[in-house]
A and B are shown apart, each in its own frame.
Chain A
Amino acid sequence: MVVNHLSTSWSVFQALFLEAMPFLLIGVVLATMARHWLPSGPVLQCLPDHRLLGPLTGAAMGFALPACECGNVPVARQLLASGSPLPTAMGFLLAAPVLNPIVLASTWAAFPDRPWLLWARPAAGLAMALAVSTLLGLQKEAAILAPNLLRERSFHQAAGPSSLLERSAGFIGSSSPVPLSLPSAGRSKSWRLSVLHGMDELVKLSSLLILGCGVAALLQTTLPRDWLLAVGQAPTLSVLALMLLAVVISVCSSVDAFLALGFAAQVTPGALLAFLVLGPVIDLKSLGLYGTVLCRSAMVFVALSCGVLTLLAGQWANFLTL
């Protein structure tokens, strides 16, 4: 029995990992291209730093990257490393997995008989991204971003806002933490070096993806899915159960609507919305990837706040439709 479960988990792991790798690769390729061709300073820093306009701009950028959460993490990380404003990058990180054309098209294809989902899903995703980005904006960057990313970012920010003592890395800091491939490092932006850096980044992110897929695959075969769906029509419990299911299943956001179609009739509308809103942003597979962007406390904060906001959105949908 145990061997049977383990071999089944191994199959699910392979399916998740092999299916996610292309999307991760797309994200890394885009991040590498951005690093190589985009001027790191002026253009990205022109993106809005406003608490509302920033996340809105980041969310709109999601339409340019039709990939799931695995693909947009490396791009969001590169945006931040290149010095783009925090609200824009966070808006992109949190909203792009829902607000992209493939996800919207798949939602429409899966639920033509539930037109309210076509606007409720992107609206709830956008509202969640706006709220969480705004809350994160109240903190200092040092309390949010992963240490390595913070060091890379410090090279591309104007020296003005931070004092010399606050800049603990780079030309002023104690060590030389920035990879040689960064554009500012001597302007030696050869494409070979960019590819090398991209490959290294892909390796790092792939290792995190492996851990996430491993946990998700193990839980998929040990946690009975029908137990979660058994709560069916209970307004709050069904929302919570589907949120847990979304986190565990870790399926790509571009096809999760088709998966939801399988149990849409068994659960409340709010639970369905919660599954479609939370899954693309927070799941076991991508939690490791988030670790390259956010520090641990910020990851916990983002996961909890997204959970609470999704619960509210689900309850709101149940209130309107039941």
Chain B
Amino acid sequence: MLTQSWASGRLQLLMAPVFHGLVVVSGLALLVGGVMGLMAHQPRPSTPWRAAILVLCTSLFIVLAPPRGSLSTLVRHRPPAQLDGLAAGFALPPEHRDLVDWVRLLRGTPQPQLFRGDPVQVEGFVLVTATGERHLAQVLVRCCLADATPVRLPVQWPAEGPLPEQDQWVRVEGEMELLDTPDGVQPVVIAHGVTSIPKPRQPFRT
């Protein structure tokens, strides 16, 4: 199960890369231990059958049912991610800043109006907030999905065309603007173009 999770690329959906090696080594160690156990012609200690059946069934379910959870559902009620330590991208031209760069920049500045009219081209998934708004978001993971926290930008979606669906990965092209929102005056991306993009192999930042 552990090695299959790595080989199938599933670990990239579940946890930070720093833990992948540990999982793979553990899987290989379990395989070796299992082979040694099969080779040992010794009287077995009391075999925990009920526990073994539970572990076996769970392992089978994990192999057969890959994670298809909703990032939007997962992080909707979580506090915004702390972005210290991530690359800032302050020196990048506006159209080259990604979503995390923009959020860091906007959080760090006392004068967000300086960025009005700047061109924006960012990618992320559609996060439906608790109040029903659709933000563009990415998720920051330090360990695994259990500690995932959102980095999000409010977006004013184009009036024409359908709204993107929850969890859909999109590229948004537009410009930065300050708008009146229920939470006060906030930087909002005015979207001129929205393009659907495939979900990344690792759908979160670390």
Q: Which A residues lie at the B interface, using CB under 8 A?
A: 4-5, 7-12, 14-19, 21-22, 25, 29, 179-181, 190, 192-193, 195-200, 202-204, 206-208, 210, 216-217, 220-221, 224-227, 229, 249-252, 255, 258-259, 261-266
In the bound assembly, the distance between CA atoms of A261 and B39 in angstroms comes to 48
B19 interfacial by beta-carbon distance below 8 Å: yes
In the bound assembly, the distance between CA atoms of A197 and B48 in angstroms comes to 11
Contacts of A19 in B (CB 8 A): 14-15, 19, 23, 143-144
Q: Which B residues lie at the A interface, using CB under 8 A?
A: 1-2, 5, 10-11, 13-15, 19, 22-23, 25-26, 29-30, 33-34, 36-37, 39-40, 42-48, 50-52, 54-55, 58, 62, 65, 67-70, 73-74, 77-82, 84, 130, 140, 142-147, 149
Which B residue sits closest to A230, measured CB to CB? Answer: B79
- Contact with B78, one of A208, A216, A225, A252 (Cβ below 8 angstroms): A225
Contact status of A14 and B143, CB under 8 A, knowing A25-B30, A203-B48, A263-B79 = no
- Contact with A12, one of B25, B34, B69 (Cβ below 8 angstroms): B69
Given contacts A14-B5, A252-B143, list 12 more A-B pairs with CB under 8 A.
A11-B14, A11-B68, A12-B69, A14-B10, A15-B67, A25-B30, A193-B40, A200-B45, A202-B30, A227-B77, A259-B147, A262-B79
Interface of A is mostly: helix
Q: How many A-B residue pairs have CB under 8 A?
A: 170
Return 19 A-B CB contacts under 8 Å, by A number.
A4-B70, A7-B68, A8-B73, A9-B69, A11-B69, A12-B74, A14-B10, A16-B144, A18-B14, A18-B144, A179-B46, A180-B43, A192-B40, A196-B42, A202-B30, A203-B48, A217-B146, A225-B79, A262-B80
In the bound assembly, the distance between CA atoms of A210 and B10 in angstroms comes to 18
Contacts of A221 in B (CB 8 A): 73-74
| A197 and B45 contacting across the interface, CB-CB below 8 Å | yes
Contacts of A198 in B (CB 8 A): 33
How distant is B148 from chain A, measured CB to nearest CB, in Å? 9
Interface centre among A29, A192, A250 (most CB of B within 10 A): A192
In the bound assembly, the distance between CA atoms of A207 and B25 in angstroms comes to 21
Which A residue sits closest to B5, measured CB to CB? Answer: A18
In the bound assembly, the distance between CA atoms of A198 and B37 in angstroms comes to 10
Contacts of A226 in B (CB 8 A): 77-79
Contacts of B79 in A (CB 8 A): 225-226, 229, 262-263, 266
Contacts of A12 in B (CB 8 A): 69, 74, 145-146
How distant is B63 from chain A, measured CB to nearest CB, in Å? 10
Contact status of A192 and B42, CB under 8 A, knowing A198-B33, A203-B52 = yes
Which A residue sits closest to B13, measured CB to CB? Answer: A11
Which A residue sits closest to B69, measured CB to CB? Answer: A11
Closest 6 pairs (CB-CB, A-B)? A11-B69, A224-B77, A192-B40, A11-B67, A207-B51, A8-B69
In the bound assembly, the distance between CA atoms of A207 and B30 in angstroms comes to 15
- Contact with B77, one of A22, A225, A265 (Cβ below 8 angstroms): A225
